A and B are shown apart, each in its own frame.
Chain A
Amino acid sequence: MKISVERERCEGHGLCVDAAPELFRLDDDGELVLLHEDGEVPAGQEDAALAAVRVCPIAALSAGVPAA
C-alpha cells in the first residue's frame, strides 16, 4: 500500500500524524513529511494509513495499492 499527499491541498492540520505517527510527521513549519520513501506503508500499518486518510479534513490524502 502507498500513501499519497496532494501537496497543493495539504494545510498541515496534522490529524494524520495523530492517526498514524509511524507514517507522518509535521516539520517545524507545519509541512507534512512522509516518513517512508514514496509514501510506502509498511506491513501492519495499513489500518493506520486508512485512518489517516479518513481523518484528513480536506481530503488531501489517499491510499491505494499501486497497479503492478
Chain B
Amino acid sequence: MTGSRLVVVGASVAGLRAVEAAREAGFRGAITLVGAEPYAPYDRPELSKTFLTATPEPSPRVYRDHSELAGRLGVELLLGTPATRLDPGARKLEAGGGLIAYDRLVIATGARARTLPEGRRLGGVHTLRTLDDARALRRDLVRARQVVVIGAGFVGAEVASSARRRGCAVTIVEREPVPLAAAFGARFGDVWRRLHERNGCDLRCGVSVTGLRGAGRVESVLLSDGTALDADLVVAGVGATPETGWLDGSGLEVDDGVLCDETLATRADGVYAAGDVARWRNPLYGRHMRVEHWTAAAEQGAAAGRNAVTAGPGTPCAIVPYLWSDWHGVRIQFAGVAGGDEIEVIGDLGAPRFVALHRSGDLLTGVLGVDSRAQVAAYRSLLRRGATWREALAARRRVAP
C-alpha cells in the first residue's frame, strides 16, 4: 500500500480514529482528511452538557490540532470543505470544488440534526449538532427566560437540564406517549417524567408541534392539543439523519446510512464507512444497525481505517453500543441494545439509582443504568462476551440504595 492515498471524508472522531489506525497499521502512503466544518476534530458530546452551562464560554476541546495531524500523523487537512460527490468507478471524490483521487476511502460524514420546517424563518429556534450550533444556542440561552425543548430524547433532555441550570423556565414537548421507549423500554417513562419534574421541567408527552409564532424571533409554540406555549428560545432535539446526500448517484447502497458488511466495507471496491453514517452488520447481534454514539464512532473509525489499508479480508467490527447522558446531575447509561422479550429491574425504579437488564431469547442484550456506573461497566463486559441471560442474572449485584 506504500505510495497509495487514503482519503477520509469526515473530520470528527470516526475520521480521526481512521487516520490514526491507518498509521498504526503501518500505512506509509498519503492521507487526506476532508471535513465539512472548519475545525480540527473536537469533543462533540460536551456540546450539549458543560459547554452550555459553564461560564464564560469554554473553548472547544480539540482532540488533535493541525500541527499534530500534519506533523506526527502526516495528514493533509482539508477543513471547511464539504464533500459533494463520489465516483467509485474513477476513484475520485469531489470536495470544495476540486477532485481528489483516492486508492482507499473511508466515509465518516456523520449525521445532521433534523430541523423543524416551521422554524426556518424565525430567530431563537435552534438545533444542536456542531460547535457553531452550540455557540449560537449558548448565546441565546444566556439571555433566555422561557425555553421550549422539542423532543425528550438525549439532546432534548440535556439541553432542558442545562437551561434549568441557567434558571430558565423549561417545557419539554414529546410527540411519543413515553420518552425514549424504543431505546430503553416503555416502562421507564415515569422515571424520566419524575426526574424532569423534580428538577422543574414541565414534560408534555403525546403532543406534537403544529407551528411556531413570532415576528422575527420566536414568541410561542403551538401544540396539537391547542395549547400555545410562550417561548423566547426553542430547541429542536428531534433526531439526526445520516449525511449521505453527497453520495447520490455514486452507486453506493444507502438505506438510512451507507450499507456495509461486517468489516465496514461498502459494495464499492476500497470504500469503507464508519460512525453515524454507517449501517453495518454488527456480528455481535447478527444484524445491520446504525449507531449514533461516540464510542461506536471511535471503534468503527479505527476498524475502517485499519481494514482500508490492510491487504486481505478485513477484520469484522463487533461493537456493544454504549451511550451516556447527563440529566439534572443524574447519569443515564445504556450498553447494548433493547431486548424486547424481558426487562429485569435490579433495585427500585423509584430509587435514585437502579439497573435494568434487557433479554432477548436466552441472551443478555442490554443494560440500562441510572447513576450506576460500576454496574453498567460490569454488564458491558458481559455483553462484549455475548453472555447468556442466566449468566447475567447470576452476576446480579444489589445496587446500593
Q: Which residues of A pack against B, CB within 8 Å?
A: 11-15, 17-18, 26-30, 54-55, 57-59
Return the chain B residue nearest A27 by Cβ: B374
Chain A residues near B17 (CB-CB < 8 A): 54
* Docked-complex contact A18 and B373, CB < 8 angstroms: no
Partner of A13, one of B61, B299, B377, B378: B377
CB of B260 to closest CB in A, whole Å = 21
* Docked-complex contact B43 and A14, CB < 8 angstroms: no
* Docked-complex contact A59 and B322, CB < 8 angstroms: no
Chain B residues near A54 (CB-CB < 8 A): 17, 20, 298, 302
Return the chain A residue nearest B377 by Cβ: A14
How many of chain B's residues touch chain A, expressed as a range?
20 to 34
* Docked-complex contact B373 and A30, CB < 8 angstroms: yes
> What separation, in Å, do the CA atoms of A18 and B322 have in the docked complex?
13
* Docked-complex contact B374 and A55, CB < 8 angstroms: no
Q: Contacts A28-B400, A57-B295, A59-B63 given; indicate if A14 touches B384 (C-beta within 8 A).
A: no
Chain B residues near A26 (CB-CB < 8 A): 373-374, 377-378
Q: Which residues of B pack against A, CB within 8 Å?
A: 17, 20, 43, 45-46, 61, 63, 294-295, 298-299, 302, 322, 324, 331, 372-374, 376-378, 380-381, 384, 400
- Tally of A-B Cβ pairs under 8 angstroms: 55
With most chain B CB atoms within 10 A of its CB, the pick from A11, A18, A30, A55 is A30
> What separation, in Å, do the CA atoms of A17 and B46 have in the docked complex?
22
CB of B197 to closest CB in A, whole Å = 26
CB of A25 to closest CB in B, whole Å = 9
Chain B residues near A59 (CB-CB < 8 A): 43, 61, 63
Chain A residues near B376 (CB-CB < 8 A): 14
CB of A62 to closest CB in B, whole Å = 13
* Docked-complex contact B373 and A13, CB < 8 angstroms: yes
Q: Contacts A18-B381, A55-B298, A57-B294 given; indicate if A29 touches B374 (C-beta within 8 A).
A: yes
> What separation, in Å, do the CA atoms of A54 and B324 have in the docked complex?
18
Q: List 29 A-B contacts (CB under 8 A).
A: A11-B373, A12-B374, A12-B377, A13-B373, A14-B373, A15-B295, A15-B322, A17-B381, A18-B377, A18-B381, A26-B373, A26-B377, A26-B378, A28-B400, A29-B373, A29-B374, A30-B372, A30-B373, A30-B374, A54-B298, A54-B302, A55-B295, A55-B299, A57-B294, A57-B295, A57-B298, A57-B324, A59-B43, A59-B61
> What separation, in Å, do the CA atoms of A7 and B319 have in the docked complex?
27
Q: Contacts A13-B324, A14-B380, A28-B400 given; indicate if A57 touches B373 (C-beta within 8 A).
A: no
> What separation, in Å, do the CA atoms of A14 and B335 have in the docked complex?
12
